Amino acid sequence: MRIEERVVPSALGLDDPLLDRIFSARGITHAAQIERSLGNLLSPVDLPDIERAAQRLADAVEQDQKILIVGDFDADGATSVALCMLALRAMGPGQVDYLVPNRFDYGYGLSPEIVQLAATMTPDVIVTVDNGVASVDGVALANEHGIDVIVTDHHLPGENLPAAYALVNPNLKFSTFSSKSMAGVGVAYYLLSWVRQVLRQREYFSVRQIDEPNMAQYLDLVALGTVADVVPLDQNNRILVHQGLQRIRRGMTRPGIMALARVGKRDLTTLSASDMGFALGPRLNAAGRLQDMSVGIRCLITEDPKEANQLAAELDGLNQTRREIEQDMVADAQMILTQIQPDPDEMGIAVYHESFHQGVVGIVAGRLREKFHRPAIVFADASEGSNELKGSARSIDGLNIRDVLDSIATRLPGMLLKFGGHAMAAGLSIKRAHLPRFQKAFDKAVRAAVTPDMLDAVVLTDGTLAPQDMDLQTVDRLSAGGPWGNGFAEPLFAGEFQLVSQRVVGQDHLKLVLGLHGQLIDGIAFRQPPLEASTAQVKVVYKPALNDYAGQQTLQLMVEYIEAMS
């Protein structure tokens, strides 16, 4: 582990020197780049096919045609479906329904099997959200059934595109939309906003005396889906997340989001992007990982607080089960690694065990990636008795994991049954018999794509935090500068402290009392074994945070890394 301080190229001239330094280190070169008002959002006009898609959906709304939303089984998919259901119903049509594939029965996206099921519901239009760019066969079958398909997606496209009525995706090769990082829910939000604009131009709302929906009321869903999908927070995404968070903190949010915050033990008035990523998002994701996402969608769209609380409690229970499965799988995976990966120079980790659960492989891959700082793929059986394995991949900075899989598919035709995803995360399917060969091919492909420095774990910090800044006012200032997240990293500081005391809390967390210039400061390090009893001085990488315990607010350092100095 190497600790480095971020380079600060130039000062912005902000009134707050600490935030000035932090923003500059994240590539901000002028103050306009940190503006977070809705007026600074990118225009939709450069999104591919958005006009064609909006006109077709506006026709469906005006003619009360049946619209079917087909979503993905994660938090981005759930928020996207909920957004479409709520916004389209607010525009007037009564025939809006949704279908989310059970990942264990139908697989990912608009598969032919899902289209066959969808056809029994006789929709006029299918709108995919957070999926569809790879659904060539599914769209072709929908076309045969006479169903128009509008694809809204943000995943990287493959060689062949589906023959959809419209394909709205900022990552298409010919797209001139400058934000390539929008989540699926962001793409859906842009399309629905354009649909409203088209209907307004047609005087639909005024003629039918329908209240024109305020699209800002759905930004809580956009913020949650964007953060939960861990897409990079470029300026456009930061605006969407900031505006959504502002509404949530003011209580202007869905009963389901309130309920999720409650079961996650988060204060709605101070909710952060981190809270959405670590408390709300995982509870939504648990539904799609272990059964199907319908319970999560119902939680988000219900207007009844009592029902929202019941559904949030169910999601909380599923999340607890998910965590237990994950812990067992991580232990099994680490044991497998000691057996099948004796070479410490192995570049790519790819593991399988018959006990692994398909719904949790992505989380386990992420945990292995963190532990070994290597790209990792974890496989599980596609179904009981199947000869097919489904895997989830997680990458390290600088390595596009989808490109790695593409290189394997090109070099070894037939090895990958299907694959798709992002630079940092991807999914794939292979035959069980091909696993040993794939493991070697994956290691070879990673070895060809990485450089030694990419495999050296580096923690980037914002330098030291002055003793006078060790207070809750600094926590407030940093919070106000957010939202922070992927691509716009939350401020992280490094410093040397006296280790006054340490004790294990929970199962494997370390509670600390640290000393700095006579000041005693609490700290907590998750999944951290205790240091040697003789340790007196430590180097710590941390985030300053608020600890609100028993009504008393104090400073607490969230420790990301700690090492003994003496």
Q: Specify whether the CB–CB gap between 393 and 415 falls below 8 A.
A: no
Q: Residue 124 belongs to what domain range? A: 31-217
Does one domain contain both 401 and 358?
Answer: yes
pLDDT of residue 343: 56
Q: Which of 526, 525, 523, 519 is nearest to 544 (CA)?
A: 523
The predicted pLDDT at position 342 comes to 41
Name the region of 70 (left: φ>0; alpha: ψ -120 to 50; beta: rest).
beta
What pLDDT tens digit does each residue of the chain (566 aa) get? 788 999 888 788 899 999 999 999 999 999 999 999 999 999 999 999 999 999 999 999 999 999 999 998 889 999 999 999 999 999 987 899 999 877 666 667 899 999 999 999 999 999 999 999 999 999 999 999 999 999 999 998 988 999 999 999 999 999 999 999 999 999 999 999 999 999 999 999 999 999 999 999 999 999 999 999 999 999 999 999 999 999 999 999 999 999 999 999 999 999 999 999 999 999 998 888 777 789 999 999 999 999 999 999 999 999 999 888 888 888 887 777 666 554 556 789 999 988 888 878 888 898 889 888 899 999 999 887 789 999 999 999 889 999 999 999 999 999 999 888 888 889 999 999 999 999 999 999 999 999 888 888 888 999 999 988 999 999 999 999 999 999 999 999 999 999 999 999 987 899 999 999 989 999 999 989 999 989 999 999 999 999 887 778 999 999 999 999 97
Q: Is residue 208 domain-shared with residue 64, that is, in the same domain? A: yes
Q: How far, in Å, CA of 266 to CA of 31, rounded?
A: 31
Query: Which residue among 178, 199, 217 closes a domain?
Result: 217
In a domain, 119, yes or no: yes
d(CA 227, CA 278): 10
DSSP state of 488: B
Show which of 420, 435, 455 is a domain's final residue.
455
Regarding whether 469 and 448 lie in a shared domain, the answer is: no
For residues 16, 18, 20, 24, the Cα torsion angle rounded to the nearest 10 degrees is -170
CB 241 within 8 A of CB 272: no
Beta bridge partners of 519: 516
**Whether residue 80 is found in the same domain as residue 136:** yes
pLDDT of residue 191: 98
Q: Does residue 270 sit within a domain?
A: no
The per-residue pLDDT for 345 is 66
> Does residue 526 sit within a domain?
yes
Burial 148-166 (b: 16+ CB within 10 A, else e): bbbbbbbbbbbeebbebbb
pLDDT for position 177: 97
Tokens describing residue 459 = 């923690």
Residues 359 and 383 in one domain: yes
Determine contact, residues 218/189, Cβ cutoff 8 Å. Answer: yes
- Angle (CA) 23-26-31 rounded to 5° is 40
- Domain of 363, CATH number, reads 3.10.310.30
Backbone angles phi, psi at 175, to 5 degrees: -70, 135
Domain count, the chain: 3
User: Is residue 80 within 8 Å of 226, Cβ to Cβ?
Assistant: no
In this structure, the answer to whether residues 390 and 526 fall within a common structural domain is: no
What is the rounded CA–CA span in Å between residue 404 and residue 398? 12
Q: Is residue 167 part of a domain?
A: yes
Q: Are both 358 and 500 inside the same structural domain?
A: no
The residue out of 400, 427, 455 marking a domain boundary is: 455
Inside any domain, residue 253 = no
Q: Give the pLDDT score at 106.
A: 67
- Residues 511, 391 within the same domain: no
Does residue 325 lie within any of the structural domains?
no
Please tell me the total number of residues recorded for the chain in this structure.
566
Pairwise CA distance, residues 469 & 490, whole Å: 16
* pTM of the predicted model as reported, rounded to 2 decimal places: 0.88
Q: Which helix (H) or strand (E) is 127 found in, with range? A: strand 125-129
Cβ partners under 8 Å of residue 399, min gap 6: 375, 423, 446, 449, 450, 454
The CATH number of the domain holding residue 144 is 3.90.1640.30
500 within domain boundaries:
yes
Whether 466 and 393 share a structural domain: no
Give me the CATH number covering residue 544: 2.40.50.460
| Same domain (yes/no): 484, 429 | no
The DSSP H or E segment spanning 144 is helix 136-144
Does a structural domain hold residue 296? no
Are 394 and 538 found together in one domain? no
Residues 47 and 161 in one domain: yes
What is the edge-to-edge ordering of all strands in the sheet holding 166-168? 96-99, 67-70, 125-129, 148-152, 166-168
CA distance 100 to 292: 7
